[in-house]
A and B are shown apart, each in its own frame.
Chain A
């Protein structure tokens, strides 16, 4: 469905060139939930903004290919991209309240998305479609919710509205950027259940961006782990958690509370991408690092399981 190959994105700032993405490759298959997981500043969101060509003016994609069902998105015209955004790839964000217009009724906001992407004859048909999508995301009272303002709904309901708005254009794929981070756990499990149901019922393809390994374990089919602008490991979820290969993935899992009695933090800190380490970007913090790691950046190797490390076989 979506294939990203060797994506290199840089930001040109007054302080210098921020090498935000350095050769990111992954593939999201039709009907799966694919997780992109990593810590703050590792380039998860930059990857999606590059995909939708929504980078701020300082950012530029230097090289690489992004294809959606065979069509190159980096070469598409701006008018084509407007159709792609929302029509083929829809996106939801972390904080639903700041993504919704506070002075517009929910129904009217979803209707905007319906008008843009659907060819319906009149306002009544649009209103019916709005209620339909609100029903799809299991709003308890779709007609009532359509008349409500965003502040009248709770956080979980607002996130349902965001998902409804995203689905209104009947996209092939949904990019969910930290969709449950702002929600309480019991509400989070409602939203995760909804995403799972949508995948089963309408075969929705989801690219899930998150820092929460627990959410990945619950929801995703396959997952890519990012570190400092590179993908270090890609694997089916059960294999990643059962048998992590890359030292960074192993470190992340060992740092999670619950695994054992003592937590093992990863020494050091995330590098500054203005001046990233040579070779493998993880080498200054890596317990396995050898001379070759300082000199040469490892390629992502393997088929079903991919690992970017000189010292570890995929």
Chain B
């Protein structure tokens, strides 16, 4: 275990024009998850389901409203405690060295006026290192399959896939144990996406990294992840081994999501479940099970009582009927 969350919640206040709180967006609403060490946990779900808020909370960029984050030994080593929310600022800074992050848009993540050398070693500088920066930069570029002679170039001189490699090199600069990957290939074409996914798998094997892999692309998640959690409106509705989830999804939402994914091979194409309606706003989620207004099998109780995530043979499902 590298990290575990217990009932993690993050609510954002909605304010009116006088600044009075008039409601809350429940971006995360009681998320309990375990990230296995050296493995990849995938988080899937549609826009607004809380994927990115989860990543930001784990990085300590958002303070959780409730619940806690338990750090595994690899992350908590040498710190005063193993609860993220109880860490002092100095420990939080040390923790951040151990968690790297890669976001979707590489061009937005790279300062256009900085040289590659300065970009990839900036985390080292921030954490106080001043010597050997150029050698470390060459090492990092080599690690992600870029030409180390390109140290003195600017981001605009690279293609989209190469820029994402620069971002990955920077995320690895402080030798993290955990890499949070938030839609790392969504901005890339398929042929380049394949290069980046292969690189990430190689790096995981070589460096023993754990990944939190956030994506809306189920085919990519299926390829990359060992375990997958499906989120809907701030809650985990199902968590299972990737192979099991895609072969035999239990929760009606996971079933719809898996069946909505376009299938290339007509022979393997199955009856499609097309959900009615849209994802509700997380500011005004439906009562009971958040999914009940769109659920094909909902009964009366679903509108009243929220189903807890229940565990059973290697997977966990939050549904009254499954």
Contact with B along A21-57 (1 / 0, CB 8 A): 0000000000000000001100000000000000000
Contact in complex: B46, A213 (CB < 8 Å) = no
With a cutoff of 8 Å between Cβ atoms, the chain A residues found around residue B256 in the complex are 186
Measured CB to CB, the residues of A under 8 A from B are: 39-40, 154-157, 184-190, 193, 211-215, 217-218, 238, 241, 251-253, 255-259, 262-266, 269-270
Count of chain B residues with a beta carbon within 8 Å of a chain A beta carbon: 36
- The CA of A144 and the CA of B223, in the complex, are separated in Å by 43
Q: Does B322 contact A (CB under 8 A)?
A: no
Ordered nearest first, which 3 A-B pairs have the shortest CB separation? A214-B262, A257-B223, A184-B46
**Interface: B278 (CB within 8 A):** yes
Stretch from B176-184, B190-198, B307-315 at the A interface: B190-198
Which residue of chain A has its CB nearest to the CB of B196? Answer: A265
Q: B222, A257: Cβ atoms under 8 Å?
A: yes
Given contacts A188-B260, A265-B198, contact A258 B219 (CB under 8 A): yes
A39-B160 Cα distance, complex, nearest whole Å: 12
A262 / chain B contacts, CB cutoff of 8 Å:
198
Nearest chain-A residue to B217 (Cβ)?
A257
Contact B266 A265 (CB under 8 A): no
B47 contacts partner chain A, Cβ-Cβ < 8 Å: yes
Name 13 interchain pairs, CB-CB below 8 A, sorted by A: A39-B191, A184-B216, A186-B274, A189-B272, A189-B274, A190-B275, A217-B265, A217-B266, A238-B266, A251-B191, A253-B264, A256-B190, A265-B191
Distance of A190 Cα from B198 Cα, bound (Å): 32
Check B159 against A269 for contact (C-beta < 8 Å). yes
| Residue in A closest to B220 when the chains form the complex, CB atoms | A257
Tell me if B263 and A214 are in contact (CB < 8 A): yes
In the complex, the answer to whether B262 meets A218 with C-beta atoms within 8 Å is: yes
Point out the residues of chain A lying under 8 angstroms from B193, CB to CB: 255, 257
Is B264 within 8 A of A265, CB to CB? Answer: no
Known: A212-B262, A255-B194, A262-B198. A157 touches B278 (CB 8 A): yes
Q: How far is A184 from B195 in the complex, measured between Cα atoms in Å?
A: 25
Q: Are A218 and B47 in contact (CB under 8 A)?
A: no
Return the contact of B218 from the options A185, A190, A241, A252 (Cβ within 8 A). Answer: A185
